[in-house]
Structure 1
Amino acid sequence: MSAAPVKTTVPSIKDVLVPETLLKKRKSDSKLREEKQATALEQRKARKQKRSVIFKRAEQYVKEYKALEREQVRLRRLAKSQGDFYVPDQPRVAFVIRLRGISNIPPKPRKIMQLLRLLQINNGVFLKLTNATQQMLQLITPYVAWGEPNLKTIRELIYKRGYAKINRQRIPISDNSVVESELGKYGIISVEDLVHEIYTAGPNFKVANHFLWPFQLSSPTGGFKKRKFKHYVEGGDAGDRESDINRLVRRMN
């Protein structure tokens, strides 16, 4: 009589005991994964809300700019109908470009250009016009060109050549997060907010302006005039160019 065969059973995966440390690791990994998913979802919602705020502000700025243009046209027509001349308000913001190097510059104008952060040829900065800054510009007239930038010039400069000064480093303004990280506490969360603050010389103009690294412009297309260091009204390039600064910036941008 032959012996009955012995049946051997292979334990299933469920029957294998899992170490407690591995169970804890799986549980912590699962919890961490859920937390990451929840954080990512909250961040997406926050970005969506922020984009909505940015778009609404941009629309508001466009309406504000158009209303300002219509008001100027109305005042100009009204003055013409009455036989008068329309005199626009004094500019509040200037764009200053350095034309000369360090050779043969007296100490006082050199110090003023250092204060204005005009450290190299073709450097440009925005400047809020006050009695003090206008006196400074008069002292450095032979070495710089300046004038009133329009909205298009300011926007093109910031979008095309704008760099941020963060921890003394020159950081490209690649997206709105760069602006918000430094200026968010002042209510400036996008590049359009930055443009609006500079154009309108807003209450946070000083902070926004120092956030911008001095613009490094190229030599103008076609070059400067032969009398580069004479005043603009004398056929040169230096001094107050008023609204003609916009044409010079476009040649250098």
Structure 2
Amino acid sequence: MSATVKTTVPSVKDVLIPETLLKKRKTDEKVRAANQARSESQRKARKQSRQVLFKRAEQYVKEYKALEREQIRLRRLAKSKGDFYVPAQPKVAFVVRLRGVSNIAPKPRKIMQLLRLLQINNGVFVKLTNATKQMLQLIEPYVTYGEPNLKTIRELVYKRGYARINRQRIPITDNSIIEEHLGKYGIVSVEDIVHEIATAGPNFKAVNQFLWPFKLSNPNGGFKQRKFIHFIEGGDTGDRESDINRLVRRMN
């Protein structure tokens, strides 16, 4: 009878694992643990940031409502005494360019370059001071402007707002973009930008420079037949006060 030879198959425990593979596994485990810890910390930070943003938004809403109630109170008080209520002078104007580059004098051309109104239907926010009022008077035949309300400012920033980063037009898709470039001013969200513009805050210039000039469309229904005549004469140019909100809504 022939003898049978038994062959033993080595188990997994008996197989020696190369040292390089063991090191790689340990490194992968450390990287995985670090990534999990970082994602957890980022999640907590985002949660805290959202809570701060919600509180700020609520504070802004209370501030806007309080201001509106105060204006109503003053108007009623003046009416009860037989007087007229004169609202405060606007602090911010929204300027829209209406004419091209042809037949423009050097000084108005330079002013529109300073205001970054480089194309037709471009719009920018301008803080009203004595200097900027004089500049607007010089370029009245080529632009139209007026006092934007809160709704107009918010719609422009949310619908047409782009950031100017390294001379490039970048869409504002996340509040982190705002926080990265305006966080040193305490501005970390779109609502902070809207509030800074609406109130002409101390960081208005930084916010305005951060925003790319708004590119608007031709208004629904078109401009008036006499486009380059002053607004008070039946045209479109010059100061149109609160009527700028109606125009922007047609162009937005």
Q: TM-score range by the shorter chain?
A: over 0.9
Report the alpha carbon displacement of residue 3 of structure 1 after superposing the two structures with TM: 6.3
In the alignment, structure 1 segments of 5+ residues that lack a partner are: none
Superposition map of 1:144-183 within 5 A: 144-183=143-182
What letter corresponds to residue 154 of structure 1 in structure 2? I
CA distance in 1: counterparts of 2:84 and 2:215, whole angstroms: 38
Q: Distance in 2 between matches of 1:203 and 1:11?
A: 77
CA distance, structure 2, for counterparts of residue 4 and residue 219 of structure 1: 99
Q: What is the alpha-carbon distance in structure 1 between the residues aligned to residue 11 and residue 29 of structure 2?
A: 24
The corresponding residue for 1:92 is 91
The alpha-carbon deviation at position 182 of structure 1 amounts to 1.2
- Between the aligned partners of 2:123 and 2:195, the Cα distance in structure 1 is 18
- Tell me what 1:211 maps to: 210
Residue in structure 1 matched with residue 191 of structure 2 by the alignment: 192
| Residues 60-101 of structure 1, C-alpha deviations (whole Å, 9 max, x = no match) | 100000000000000000011111111111100000000100
1:218-237 to 2 correspondence within 5 Å?
218-237=217-236
Helix, strand or coil for the counterpart of 2:219?
Answer: coil
Superposition deviation, residue 4 in structure 1: 5.0
SS in 2 for 1:177: helix
Alignment partner of 1:14: what SS?
coil
Name 1:139's counterpart in structure 2.
138
Deviation at 1:6, TM superposition (A): 3.3
Number of the residue aligned with 2:245? 246
Structure 1 counterpart of 2:38, one-letter code: T
Identity of paired residues, percent? 80
What's 1:106 paired with? 105
Alpha-carbon distance between aligned partners in 2 of 1:148 and 1:100, rounded to the nearest angstrom: 20
Q: TM-score, normalised by structure 2?
A: 0.98
1:94-141 deviations in Å (ceiling 9; x for gaps): 000001001111000000000000001100000000000000001001
Q: Secondary structure at the match of 1:52?
A: helix
Name the count of aligned residue pairs: 252
For 2:97 and 2:134, locate their aligned partners in 1 and report how far apart those are by CA, in whole Å: 16
Task: Give, in whole Å, the separation in 1 of the partners of 2:175 and 2:7.
Answer: 68
Partner of 1:127: 126
**Structure 1 residue 226: Cα displacement:** 1.3
Residue aligning to 1:31: 30
Superposition deviation, residue 8 in structure 1: 2.1
How far 1:5 sits from its partner (Å)? 3.2
| C-alpha displacement of 1:175 | 2.1
Q: Secondary structure at the match of 1:236?
A: coil
Moved over 3 A (4+): 2-6
Matched residues in 1 for 2:126 and 2:57: separation?
A: 24
Q: Which amino acid letter does the alignment assign opposite residue 102 of structure 2?
A: S
With 204-213 and 177-186 compared, the bigger mean Cα shift is at 177-186
> C-alpha separation between the residues in 2 aligned to 1:175 and 1:78?
44
Distance 1:50 1:164 in 2: 21
Segments of structure 2 that go 5 or more residues without pairing to the other structure are: none
- What is the one-letter code of the residue matched to 1:211? F
Q: What is the rounded CA distance, in whole Å, between the counterparts of 2:230 and 2:248 in structure 1?
A: 17
Q: Does 1:17 align with 2:16?
A: yes
Q: CA deviation at 1:9?
A: 1.4
SS in 2 for 1:127: strand
1:60-99 mapped onto 2 (5 Å cutoff): 60-99=59-98
Q: Which amino acid aligns with 1:106?
A: A
Aligned-pair Cα RMSD in Å: 0.9
Q: State the TM-score, normalizing by the size of structure 1.
A: 0.98
Deviation at 1:17, TM superposition (A): 0.7
Give the residue type in structure 2 aligned to 1:107: P
| CA–CA separation in structure 2 for the residues paired with 1:48 and 1:15 | 49
